[in-house]
Amino acid sequence: MAHRPRIGRLLACAGRLLVIHAWLLLPAAGLVVVRAQGAAAQSSELEEVIRLGQQAIKLYDEGRYNEAIPFGERAVELCEKKLGAEHPAVASMLNNLALFYGAKGEFARVESLYQRALAIYEKARGPEHPHTAAAINNLALFYVDRGDYARAEPLLRRALAVREKVHGAEHPDVAIVLNNLAELYSTKGDYARAESLYRRAAAILEKARGAEHPDFATALNNLGLMYRNRGDYERAEPLYVRALSIREQALGAEHPVVAASLNNLAILYYAKGDYARAEPLLRRALLIREKTLGPEHPSVALSLNGLALLSQAEGDYERAETLYRRALPIIEKTQGAEHPDVASLLNNLAVLYELKGETAQAARTFGRSNDIHERNLTLVLTTGSEEQKRLYLATLSGDISGMVSFHVRSAPRDPAAARLALSIVLRRKGRALDAMSDQIEALRRRASPQDRALLEQLSATRTRLATLKLSGPSKTPPEQHQTEVAKLSTEAERLEAEVSRRSTEFRALSQPVTLERVQQAIPAGAALVEVVSYQPFKAKAKNIEDRFDEERYVAYVLRRDGEPQWVELGEAASIEADVARLRAALVNPTSLDVKQAARALDERVMRPIRRLLGDIRHIFLSPDGALNLIPFGALLDEQGRYLVENYSITYLTSGRDLLRLAARVQSRQGPMVMANPAFDLAVTEASQAAHLANAASGQRSLDF
């Protein structure tokens, strides 16, 4: 099944940011450490440190994060002065300060604070102390929030092992780590493992802290979020409702965590099509966030985005556009103009233009959103682990369906929409295979020592640039942040130009994939045929489950000159049934159905494409889905001729492969020839029996 486009990603974006608030449970343990240490260090010279730390905690508990930070910073400064930079109390103050910055959304400061706190605890307390485990936990949580799951999971497992050893399996601190580990698995889509961990954490917290404690509410909220992500709304709703009730009673009606619960419940009702219940919750969440976090906080933009989605679903397009346009500059200012959240908001706005029938504006806005994703994707795929690459690709998996659906359903006669759809196909189709093959790393292994050094410099620069773009500015003013981005971008471009000058292969791998570049790589007299499977999107459907039609196939034909042409091939299910029929006939040597099956599939797939090919006889063919499993040359046309008789077919994963084929890479090794095999073809009783068995099963191969 194709991935669902657009709406699923947008809801996941909102849920993912809300989880920041849901995870307040974990850092609260760090705050307890500060209080305990403060009580043990009662002396006149530390009274001011204790007072500042307690005031910062009080403000944080009240959701007044902006006010908590100056007290936290002053507490760290005085604590270092009185006790020294390596004292455990300093680590606790650093942990709290990281928590305050994280709640405010200034993530660039958080990692270094948590790392420094952990280093102090490990040195002063040892690797298996509860304070060390808390610091490990907090750092892991930061990595989960930033999407660096490969670094987060081993840290969470280490923290869990320490806490179980020190406290026993039923301690609340153990539940904290279980909760966060479950959130990691849920984010990765491993719902079965996540559910068991969530339930274990909830049981521990209910027993240890009571059924009305905010930490128990957090466990319920996160379990509900997991069910919602699975589409199990009936199990999610009572958990959300109960979590909201507990939080309101324990924290007050205007706490930011209460706003997170309100937003989660509203998104659930929106997904179910119950707009009347969703809207007042979204409005209330927005008011709380504006009051407690300020009008320019990213969470405020998410609430505005939710209200815009709701207005859009109700048909109030003008109000929706006003809300989107208010949310967009907030995210651009706080996260940076190329942050994924900016792309998601632009995507929502483009869907709105599509609904309004403003297809030209929709195409431009979709194009801007996709360009942001592509730039970030290029940075991510040239750095980091394979798992990180795969996970980031998964967040963009619906883009092909979204853009093809926009073109085919909303703007079928618009050349700009056709170019946009084919461009996203050329960029994304088969991209996971490229990422897993790690072509840059393979190039690095073949390069000279001097070229490898350049590649290492480029990789390091791209890593810094990706981190800067994806995390957005923290305390850095937006203007300074953009200056730093521009400086690193210039350095990356300089290094890319130098490596490209030295390596034709790198030049083919690293240059942006555009429709124009692919067209230039198509030989004269040939054509690229891109076959794509997609799920048509119905933006006006009330329930999310009803917004996606069954999967279909479409084909785009691109020549060296001119605009792309296209044709819909039909429902995927019926085409794939014909594919299965042909494959079954091909593997059965006694079948009399091969020509009939080959003719039927040709009529469904290749005959519509031939109408667009004209006199073209050389095809660069990029199939999709089940169509990857058939030899197109074996199809039979309406004159009873096999396609291989009339066409030269070159198979590609994507038309993007033409850019690599155009790069002439000189081999660094001489040829190796293997010859003079010795086959023993004597027919034995055993080989004859094996041959008969193969023939009976429909296999054509012989057992030699």
For 48, residues 6+ apart whose C-beta sits below 8 A from its C-beta are 78
What is the band of 543 on the pLDDT scale with cuts at 50, 70, 90?
low
More confident residue, 40 or 120: 120
Query: What is residue 670's predicted lDDT score, i.e. its pLDDT?
Result: 63
Q: How far is it, in rounded angstroms, from Cα 122 to Cα 111?
A: 16
What is the band of 208 on the pLDDT scale with cuts at 50, 70, 90?
very high
Query: What is residue 318's predicted lDDT score, i.e. its pLDDT?
Result: 96
Query: Following DSSP, what letter does each residue of 210-268 receive, concatenated?
Result: -TT-HHHHHHHHHHHHHHHHTT-HHHHHHHHHHHHHHHHHHH-TT-HHHHHHHHHHHHH
Candidate from 243-247, 297-301, 304-308 with smallest mean pLDDT: 297-301
Query: What is residue 49's predicted lDDT score, i.e. its pLDDT?
Result: 84
pLDDT at residue 624 is higher than 60: yes
Query: What is residue 545's predicted lDDT score, i.e. its pLDDT?
Result: 66
Candidate from 13-27, 155-169, 474-488 with smallest mean pLDDT: 13-27
The arithmetic mean of pLDDT across residues 50-77, rounded, is 86
What is the band of 649 on the pLDDT scale with cuts at 50, 70, 90?
very high
Q: How far is it, in rounded angstroms, from Cα 257 to Cα 251?
A: 8
Query: What is residue 64's predicted lDDT score, i.e. its pLDDT?
Result: 81
What is the band of 204 on the pLDDT scale with cuts at 50, 70, 90?
very high
The arithmetic mean of pLDDT across residues 614-619, rounded, is 95
Query: What is residue 39's predicted lDDT score, i.e. its pLDDT?
Result: 40
Q: How many other β-carbons are positioned within 10 Å of the β-carbon of residue 672? A: 5
Question: What are the angstrom distances between the C-alpha of 399 and each of 364, 372, 555?
Answer: 15, 13, 17
The arithmetic mean of pLDDT across residues 73-101, rounded, is 89
Classify residue 108 by its DSSP letter. G
For 225, residues 6+ apart whose C-beta sits below 8 A from its C-beta are 15, 18, 19, 22, 186, 236, 264
pLDDT at residue 6 is higher than 90: no
The arithmetic mean of pLDDT across residues 320-325, rounded, is 96
Q: What is the pLDDT of residues 176-203, one digit of tens each?
A: 999 989 988 887 677 888 899 999 999 9
Tell me the backbone φ, ψ of residue 556, rounded to 5 degrees.
-110, 140
Tokens of 653: 């994963």
Q: Are residues 325 and 301 in contact, defined by beta-carbon separation less than 8 angstroms?
A: no
Query: What is residue 510's predicted lDDT score, i.e. its pLDDT?
Result: 52
Q: How far is it, in rounded angstroms, from Cα 380 to Cα 465?
A: 10
pLDDT at residue 690 is higher than 70: no
Q: How far is it, in rounded angstroms, from Cα 701 to Cα 704?
A: 9
More confident residue, 82 or 364: 364
* 65-69, 384-388, 422-426, 507-511 — most confident range: 422-426
DSSP bridge pairs for 534: 552
Pairing of strands 526-534, 552-559: antiparallel
User: pTM for the full model?
Assistant: 0.65
What three-state secondary structure class fits 469? Answer: helix
Tokens of 22: 């849901």
pLDDT at residue 462 is higher than 80: no
Query: What is residue 280's predicted lDDT score, i.e. its pLDDT?
Result: 96
pLDDT at residue 656 is higher than 70: yes
Q: What is the pLDDT of residues 335-392, one digit of tens each?
A: 778 887 888 899 999 999 999 999 999 999 999 998 888 887 776 666 555 555 665 6
pLDDT at residue 286 is higher than 70: yes
Q: How far is it, in rounded angstroms, from Cα 273 to Cα 615?
A: 51
Q: How many other β-carbons are positioned within 10 Å of the β-carbon of residue 356? A: 15
What three-state secondary structure class fits 650? Answer: strand
Average pLDDT value over all residues in the chain: 80
pLDDT at residue 206 is higher than 90: yes
What is the band of 428 on the pLDDT scale with cuts at 50, 70, 90?
confident
What is the band of 25 on the pLDDT scale with cuts at 50, 70, 90?
very low
pLDDT at residue 576 is higher than 70: yes
Query: What is residue 259's predicted lDDT score, i.e. its pLDDT?
Result: 95
Query: What is residue 548's predicted lDDT score, i.e. its pLDDT?
Result: 77
Query: What is residue 572's predicted lDDT score, i.e. its pLDDT?
Result: 94
